[in-house]
Structure 1
Amino acid sequence: MPSISSKGLAMPESPIRKLVPYAEEATKQGKEIFYLNIGQPDIKTPQVALDAVKNNDLEIISYSHSAGFATYREKLAKYYQKVGLPVEAEDIIITTGGSEALLFAMGSITDPNDEVIIPEPFYANYNGFATSAGVNVVPVQAKFEDGFALPPVSEFEKLITDKTKAIVICNPGNPTGYLYTKDEMDQLSALAKKYDLFLVADEVYREFAYEGLKHHSVMNQEGLEQNAIMIDSVSKRYSMCGARIGCLVSKNKELISTAMKFAQARLSPPTFAQIASEAALDTPQSYFDDVIEEYVDRRDTLIEGLKSIEGVEVAKPNGAFYCIAQLPVADADHFAKWLLESFDKDGKTVMVAPAEGFYSTPKTGMNQVRIAYVLEKEHLLEAIEILKAALKKYNEIHGAS
C-alpha cells in the first residue's frame, strides 16, 4: 500500500475540533450542547455585509487579483490609517482567512528545519502551519500565575540560533486573552532588530481590548518596518468566520513580493466573501462599542462563575474572547470527552477545548481548558452550573487531582 508522508503523519489534530465526533454522538443521543470550545461568536454579522452579497448584480463570479480586489485593499488601508496604522494598499495581500496569511508568511520567511519562537500557550493551528512549512516551533512558556504575560525576553534570547527566522505572537492572545503592553512590544521589537528576525503578529482580535486598554500593533513599532508582519482577518471583528477572508500586511516589499507568488499559486481569494468584507468596512463604531460591552459582561460573568467552582482557577483576560481555566482534574482531555460521552444535567452538557493542544511542549497544560465566552450571558450561566455539577461527579468517579 502507498505510504502517507511523514509530514502528514506529524500534522497535529486540532484541540478545538477533534472532539466534534463526540459532540455529534451526544447530539444523536438528544443532548443539548453549549459550545464553549470554538471562537464562533453568536454576535450578528453586520447587515451591510450581508446585504452586499444578497443585493449584488454579478453575472459572472470571476477571479479577483491574486492580492484581492484593489478597491478592498484601498478601503482596508484607509481603515488601518483611521486606527493609526501606517498601512498603504500595496502593503496588503488579501488571503483566504488569517490561516492562509500565516501559511504565506511561513512559506515566505522560512526554509525546512528553520525555527520560529512562539510564547505558549498559543493558537493551536500554529503547530499545523509550522508542520506544513517543515518548520520547528520553539516554545517559550508564559505562566498561568502571571496571567500569561510575556515571558522575560532573556528566555527568548537564549533560544535564538542561526536557524531562528521569526518570533510569532498573537495579540490579544488566543487562547489566553492576554493583551501585550507597549513595553512588551518594544522589548520584542528590540530583540527582532538585534538578531534581524521577523516579528509576526497575529492581530485578528485587535478590536477586542477591554477596560480602556490600548492595543499596540506591530505596525506601529518604530524602526521595525522591514521586520514586521501583521496577520489580520474579518472573522472575529465582524463575526464573519465563514467568509474566510484575512490579510497579510507588511512594509517589507521583498516579503510582499515573495508572498504574492504564493497568492498567485492559489489564484485568488473568494469573490463573494471579498464583497461582504469590503462592505463590512462601513460598519459604524456603535457596532463595536456594543459588541465590546457585551463581551466584557460575558467575560465578567464567566470569570466570576468559574471562580465560584471549588478547585477551579482562571486567568482573567484583557482582550479577545477566551480564557484558560485550570480544573481540579488530572487530564482535561479525558474530562472533555467524558462531558460529551457520559454526562448531562437535565439533558444538557458543555463542550470545551483541552488546553494541552495549545502548547508545543509535551504534557503541558494537561489540567487546563480553553473556554470561549461566545454565548449569551444566560447560556454562560447555565454552562457554569453544568461544569460545576460535572466536575463534582467526575471526581467522585475518577478522583480529584
Structure 2
Amino acid sequence: MPSISFKGKKMPESPIRKLVPFAENAKKRGIKVFHLNIGQPDIKTPDCALEAIKNNTVEVLSYSRSEGSEEYRQKIANYYAKNNINVTANEIIVTTGGSEALLFAMGSITDPGDEIIIPEPFYANYNGFSTASSITVVPVISKIEDNFALPPIEEFEKLITPKTKAILICNPGNPTGYLYSKEEIQKLAKIVKKHDIFLIADEVYREFVYDNAQHQSVLNDFGLENHAIIIDSVSKRYSMCGARIGCLVSKNKDVIATALKFAQARLSPPTFAQIASEAALETPKSYFDEVIVEYKDRRDTLISQLNKVEGVKVATPKGAFYCVVELPVDDADKFAQWLLEEYNLNNQTIMVAPAAGFYSTQGFGINQVRIAYVLKKEDLIKSVNILAEALKKYNQN
C-alpha cells in the first residue's frame, strides 16, 4: 500500500474542529449544543456586502488579478490610511483568507528547517502552517497568571539562532484576547531590527479592542518598513468568515514580489468574495461601534460568570472575542469530549476548544480550554452554568 508523507503524518488536527463529530452526534440525540469552540460570530454581515452579491451585474465570473483587483486593493489601502497605516495598493496582496496570507508569508521568508518564534498559546493553525512549510515553531511562553502579556524580551533573545527568520504575533490575540501595548511593539521592533529578522503580525481582530485601549499596528510608526508583514482578513471584522478573503501587507518590496509568485501559482483569489469584501469597506462606523459594545458586554458577562465557578481561572481579554480558561480537570481534551458524549443539563451541553492544541510545547495547556464569546449574553450565562454543573459531576466521577 502506498505510504503517507512524513509531513502529512505530522500535520496536527484542529483542536477547534476535531470534536465536531461528537457535537453532531449529540445533536442527533436531541441535545442542544452551545458552540463556544469556534470564532464564528453571530453578528449580522453588513448589508452593503450582502447587497453587492445580490445586485451585482457580473455576466462572466472570471479570474481576477493574482494580487487581487486593483480597485479593491486601493480601497484596502484607503482603509489602512484611516488607521494610520500608510501603504499603497502595490504593497497589498489579496489572499484566500488570512490563512493563505500566512502560508505566503512563511513561503516567502523561510526555507525548510528555518525557525519562527511565537509567543504561546497561539492560534492553533500556526502549528499546521509551519508543518506545511517544513519550518519549526520555537515557542516563548506567556502565562495565564500574567494575563498572557508579552514575555520578557530576554526570553526572545535566548531563542534567536541563525535559523530564526521571524517573530510572529497575533494582536489582539487568538486564543488569549491579549492586546499588545505600544511599549511591547517597540521592544519587538528593536529586537527584529537588531537581528535583521521579520516581525509578522496577524491583525485580523484589529477592530475589536476594549476598555478605551488602542490597537498598535506593526506598520504604525515603529520603523519596520523592511521588517514588518501584516496578515489581515475580512472574516471577523465584517462577520464574513465564509468569504475567505484576506491579505498580506508589507512595505518590503522583496516580500511582496515573492509573495506574488505564490499568488500567481494559485491563479487568483475568489472573484465573488472580492466583490462582497470591497463593498464591506463601505460599512459605517456605527456598525463597529455597536459590535464593540456588544462584544464588551459579552466579555464582561462571561468573565463575571466564570469567576463564580470554583476552581476556574480565567485571563481577562482586552481584544478579539476569546479567552483562555483553566479548569480543575486533569485533561481538557477528555473533559470536552465527555461534555458532548455523556453529559447534558436539561438536554443542553457545551462545546469548547481544548487549549493544548494552541501550544507547541508538549504538556502545556492540558487543563485549559479556549472559549469564544460569540453567543448572546443569555446563552453565555446558560453555558457557564452548564460548565459549573458539569465540572461538579465530572470530578465526582
Structure-2-length-normalised TM-score = 1.00
Would you say the 8 A contact 1:37–1:352 is kept in 2?
A: yes
Alignment length (residue pairs)? 397
Letter paired with 2:65: H
Q: CA RMSD in A?
A: 0.5
1:126-145 alignment runs, 5 A limit: 126-145=126-145
Query: What displacement does 1:24 show?
Result: 1.0
Query: What displacement does 1:291 show?
Result: 0.1
1:64-83 alignment runs, 5 A limit: 64-83=64-83
Counterpart Cα distance in 2 of 1:6 and 1:120: 25
Counterpart Cα distance in 2 of 1:224 and 1:381: 43
Letter paired with 2:395: N
Counterpart Cα distance in 2 of 1:273 and 1:390: 41
Would you say the 8 A contact 1:189–1:221 is kept in 2?
A: no
What's the counterpart of residue 206 of structure 1?
Answer: 206
1:318-333 alignment runs, 5 A limit: 318-333=318-333
5+ residue gaps, structure 2: none
Secondary structure (helix, strand or coil) at the match of 2:298 reads helix
Counterpart Cα distance in 1 of 2:47 and 2:69: 21
What's the counterpart of residue 104 of structure 1?
Answer: 104
What's the counterpart of residue 284 of structure 1?
Answer: 284
Would you say the 8 A contact 1:336–1:354 is kept in 2?
A: yes
Query: What displacement does 1:96 show?
Result: 0.2
What's the counterpart of residue 51 of structure 1?
Answer: 51
Structure 1 stretches of at least 4 aligned residues deviating more than 3 Å after TM superposition: none
Letter paired with 1:7: K
Query: What displacement does 1:28 show?
Result: 1.0
What's the counterpart of residue 306 of structure 1?
Answer: 306
Counterpart Cα distance in 1 of 2:221 and 2:240: 29
What's the counterpart of residue 182 of structure 1?
Answer: 182
Would you say the 8 A contact 1:199–1:229 is kept in 2?
A: yes
Query: What displacement does 1:117 show?
Result: 0.2
What's the counterpart of residue 168 of structure 2?
Answer: 168
What's the counterpart of residue 366 of structure 2?
Answer: 366
Secondary structure (helix, strand or coil) at the match of 1:33 reads strand
Query: What displacement does 1:223 show?
Result: 1.9
What's the counterpart of residue 248 of structure 2?
Answer: 248
Counterpart Cα distance in 2 of 1:5 and 1:221: 44
What's the counterpart of residue 334 of structure 2?
Answer: 334
1:82-103 Cα offsets, whole Å, 9 max, x none, are: 1111111111000000000000
1:148-167 alignment runs, 5 A limit: 148-167=148-167
Query: What displacement does 1:221 show?
Result: 3.8
Letter paired with 2:171: N
Counterpart Cα distance in 2 of 1:394 and 1:40: 28
Counterpart Cα distance in 1 of 2:145 and 2:191: 25
Counterpart Cα distance in 2 of 1:57 and 1:230: 33
Letter paired with 1:384: V
1:179-208 Cα offsets, whole Å, 9 max, x none, are: 000000000000000000000000000000
What's the counterpart of residue 297 of structure 2?
Answer: 297
Query: What displacement does 1:222 show?
Result: 2.7
Would you say the 8 A contact 1:118–1:140 is kept in 2?
A: yes
Counterpart Cα distance in 1 of 2:176 and 2:48: 31
What's the counterpart of residue 272 of structure 2?
Answer: 272
What's the counterpart of residue 351 of structure 1?
Answer: 351
What's the counterpart of residue 235 of structure 1?
Answer: 235
Does residue 146 (structure 1) correspond to residue 146 (structure 2)? The answer is yes
- Greater CA drift, 99-108 or 24-33: 24-33
Counterpart Cα distance in 1 of 2:392 and 2:223: 54
Counterpart Cα distance in 2 of 1:223 and 1:283: 31
Counterpart Cα distance in 1 of 2:26 and 2:328: 24
Structure-1-length-normalised TM-score = 0.99
**Identity within the alignment, %:** 69
Letter paired with 1:354: P
1:215-234 alignment runs, 5 A limit: 215-234=215-234
1:251-293 Cα offsets, whole Å, 9 max, x none, are: 0001000000000000000011000000000000000000000
Secondary structure (helix, strand or coil) at the match of 2:394 reads helix
Letter paired with 1:103: L
What's the counterpart of residue 393 of structure 1?
Answer: 393
Secondary structure (helix, strand or coil) at the match of 1:21 reads helix
Counterpart Cα distance in 2 of 1:250 and 1:111: 19
Counterpart Cα distance in 2 of 1:257 and 1:59: 32
Query: What displacement does 1:396 show?
Result: 0.7
